[in-house]
Structure 1
Amino acid sequence: MRVVLVLITILLLTSCGASATAVATQTGGGTAVAPTPVPSPTTIPTSSFYAIELSAGQQALVKIDHVFAIRHTIFQVPTNGWLASFDLWPVAGSGGQFVVAYAPPPPPGEINFGFTSLYLLPQDGGEMEPLLGPQVDGELFFNPVWSADGQSIYFSHVTPREGEEYAFDTTLERLHLPTGHIDLIAADAIWPQPSPDGTMLVYVLVEPVTLANSLVVADPDGGNVRELAGVEMFTAVDAPVFSPDNQMLYFSAVEPAAARSWWERLGGVQVAAAHNLPSDWYRLPVTGGEVERLTTINGVGLYGRFAPSDVPTFAFTSQEGIYEMAADGRDLQIWLAGVFTDSLAWTP
């Protein structure tokens, strides 16, 4: 199933289609694991991770204690279901909510192509609540993230183009939860992420013909668009995130040489995003400028978040495990080995 989903991701801006329904969660208990070495107690964050773990072919949304590395299952994905990503609006203790992009299991004998709808899920587990689903065949919702004030959700939306076979439009939109109103933020845009102070929004703009990527910073409503200079060297960029002080942008990117190699393997299929290709972390000022490379791991599925601690710690998931490093890329290490995909969140 993963192969099918990877190909769907690669061709995301050119082909999609399916439907979705709500399902009940399945919860489980905690399992103790031996943690790998972590930073010294004077610098270690004391909160917990939330991540999507893939083990023995099964996905689960898990909470992992950062001190003792104890796992607790929040949502066990049913066989043939697909949890693409999540974002958390946290509340200390409990009471927060995940927004998730999820494709429930299809009827027996059918393939799950990973066409996701949006759901809300309590922070401590429970029943999924449908939020946004398809109104027509071929509609897809993905990349959901909370606004800085917790009142809105940004997401990308794929819809079939009327009257054109195998033609689709991708838009970045914002759902205002108290009213249900949806705003159009940008066309041909994916990977939205608001700044911690709520004054900016970053996203990846994908040119629909060449699939060239660029980083764009805008106001929260999509106005005052600024395409950042400095990322032209990369064939694909994704998973942007602001630094805690709102001054820097971190992002995952694929070097041109790596992209060419994958182009040859895929027989000419262009890649719309870096997420399923070997990539590394980079950063640049929110105003654009010189790009600084932070890692040289050639990891797959990189997705990162800063820890809520006094000492800036950047953690990120990958198909090799959960990594941690200082904000400038120093002290990089695998904190917990395993396969963790596409999302990461910290408790307060």
Structure 2
Amino acid sequence: MKTFRLLAIGLALSACSIEISDPTAAATAASQLPGATPAPTRAPTLAAPAWETLGLTGSLIYTQGAQGIKRLDLATGNIDSVFTPPEDAWLTAAAVSPDGKTLVMAYAPPPPAGEVQLGYTSLYQFSIGSDPAAAPEPLITRNDPQESYFTPAWSPDGQYIYYAHFIPVRGSGGNTFKYTLERIRYSQGGRPDILIEDSIWPRLSADGTKLAYLKFDTENFNQELYMADADGKNGSPVLPPGEFPSVDAQFFSPDGKSIIFNAVGEGRSPALSWLDRLTGAQIAEAHNVPSDWWSVTLGESKATRLTEIYDMSMYGNFSPDGQYIAFTSATGMHLMKPDGSGLTPLAPIDAPGTVEWAP
């Protein structure tokens, strides 16, 4: 059995991106992305955002580590707080319900006085529009002090919450760990359904029939992009084995015919191994080494590169109309068209995390 290394579960955003990385660390790469227009420097309360001509509506809700959860109004450019965590809390990801009313977040409250925050998160819920300083309500809590729940995702019908579960395994031969991908009925509670072993980072297709996830090898720390039915059955790889040294942050196109993902390397080319990218207690992956957005049509094996920005800590989502992709990264929050063109800065950020569109 492999010696259990305490992997700070931030999954980075998590997880892979679900990495298991510290999403509260301030972004250090403030340079402008290649091909992007300069980021706006105006105060967020001034009249017209720099992207006004795009006619965007709704808002983007995104996590900011110790600063909590923010909301960018795409029509006005104003930024306000949705949830402000207390000091020493830990927040890695947040998912917006299909009706735009509820957040489910991977969150660890402040530890008791004198203890250190270790970042093992449970799942909590929070009503959007509540007092930002209000305490979130527990949804799924830890039984073991070293287990963690992370990267929550709603099913499109709002009936289920999908998430990844980090489980420490202790035995006479040593300590190790495992991951499971699970779901729970949001309205009814009850026991979680364990869908897939050794897997992380669930994302659902818009029609709710397909599940994209990362198959994780706990022996060599490799991860591969997979797809299954919504109940976890009939899983199969989306890409040829070893196509990229690391992938993460995947999400479906609105029509469900392709998957956008973040990847390290050029595709089918030599690159550093997983172990070469381990840094201390963190798992290095596409999330915290220079990487780009790629797309693959389901049923085909050849991936298409969308960007050449070599950014880090990337996490994205399609707009409701499918016309744009918003994503956060080490260099800020950005917008692009589905083919990777039209790269536009939206706002600076202080910590990598998740971003989702909301009404």
- The alpha carbon displacement at 1:7 in A equals 8.6
The equivalent of 1:48 in structure 2 is: 59
In structure 1, what is the equivalent of residue 336 of structure 2?
A: 325
Instruction: Name 2:79's counterpart in structure 1.
Output: 71
Alpha-carbon distance, 1:330 to partner: 0.7
Select the residue among 228, 233, 238 that pairs with 2:243. Answer: 233
Q: 2:108 aligns with which of 103, 109, 112?
A: 103
Identify the residue that residue 23 of structure 2 maps to in structure 1: none
Paired position in structure 2 for 1:122: 127
Answer whether contact 1:263 1:270 (CA < 8 A) is retained: no
Aligned counterparts of 1:246 and 1:66: Cα–Cα separation in 2: 25
Distance of 2:274 and 2:189 partners within structure 1: 44
Task: State the 1:331 CA deviation.
Answer: 0.8
Aligned to 1:187: 197
- Counterpart pick for 2:254 among 244, 249, 252: 244
Residues 210 and 39 of structure 1, relative CA distance in 2, 3 Å threshold:
farther
**Residue equivalent to 2:208:** 198
Answer yes or no: is 1:140 the counterpart of 2:140. Answer: no
Task: Note closer, same or farther for the CA distance 1:209–1:263 as it changes in structure 2 (3 Å cut).
Answer: closer
TM-score, normalised by the number of residues in structure 2: 0.80
Match of 1:305 in 2: 317
Counterpart check, 1:285 vs 2:294: no
1:151 aligns with 2:163: no
Cα shift at 1:179: 4.5
Gaps of 5+ in 1: 17-29
Is there any run of 5+ residues in structure 2 with no aligned partner, and where? 1-5, 21-42
Question: What is aligned with 1:275?
Answer: 287
1:21 matched to which residue of 2?
Answer: none
Moved over 4 A (4+): 4-13, 33-36, 256-259, 261-270
C-alpha distance in 2 between matches for 1:320 and 1:34: 24
In structure 2, what is the equivalent of residue 19 of structure 1? none
Deviation digits for residues 259-309 of structure 1, max 9, x if unmatched?
A: 639965757988463222222111101224210111111212101011123
Sort the Cα spacing of 1:173 and 1:80 in 2 relative to 1 into closer, same or farther, 3 A: same
Answer with 153-162 or 255-264: which moved more.
255-264
Deviations 1:95-147 (A, max 9, x none): x1111000112223332121100001112234411011111232111111111
How many aligned positions are there?
A: 321
1:175 aligns with 2:184: yes
Query: What does the per-residue CA deviation read over 1:152-180, in whole Å, with 9 as the maximum and x for residues that have no partner?
Result: 11111112214254311110011112242
Q: Does 1:37 find its partner at 2:50?
A: yes
Check the 8 A contact 1:115/1:140 in 2, yes or no: yes
The TM-score, its normalising length taken from structure 1, stands at 0.83
Letter in 2 for 1:72: D
Q: Comparing 199-208 with 107-116, which one deviates more in the overlay?
A: 107-116
RMSD: 3.0
Tell me if 1:89 matches 2:97: yes
Q: SS at the partner of 1:341?
A: coil
1:329 partner SS = coil
Specify whether residues 173 and 272 from structure 1 end up closer, same or farther in structure 2 by C-alpha distance, changes over 3 A only. farther
Displacement after TM superposition at 1:242 (Å): 0.3
SS at match of 1:99: strand
2:139 counterpart of 1:131: yes
CA distance in 1, matches of 2:46, 2:220: 45
| Cα pair distance change 1:231/1:35, threshold 3 Å | farther
Q: Higher relative contact order at CA 8 Å, sep ≥6: structure 1 or structure 2? A: 2
Name the counterpart of 1:24.
Answer: none
SS across alignment from 2:120: coil
Q: Which of these residues, 52, 67, 70, is aligned with residue 59 of structure 1?
A: 67
Contact 2:8 2:119 in 1 (8 A): no
2-structure distance, mates of 1:331, 1:39: 14
Which residue number corresponds to residue 23 of structure 1?
none
Change (3 A) 1:65 1:248: same
Contact 1:192-1:201 within 8 A present in 2 as well: yes
- Give the fraction of aligned pairs with identical amino acids, expressed as a percent: 34
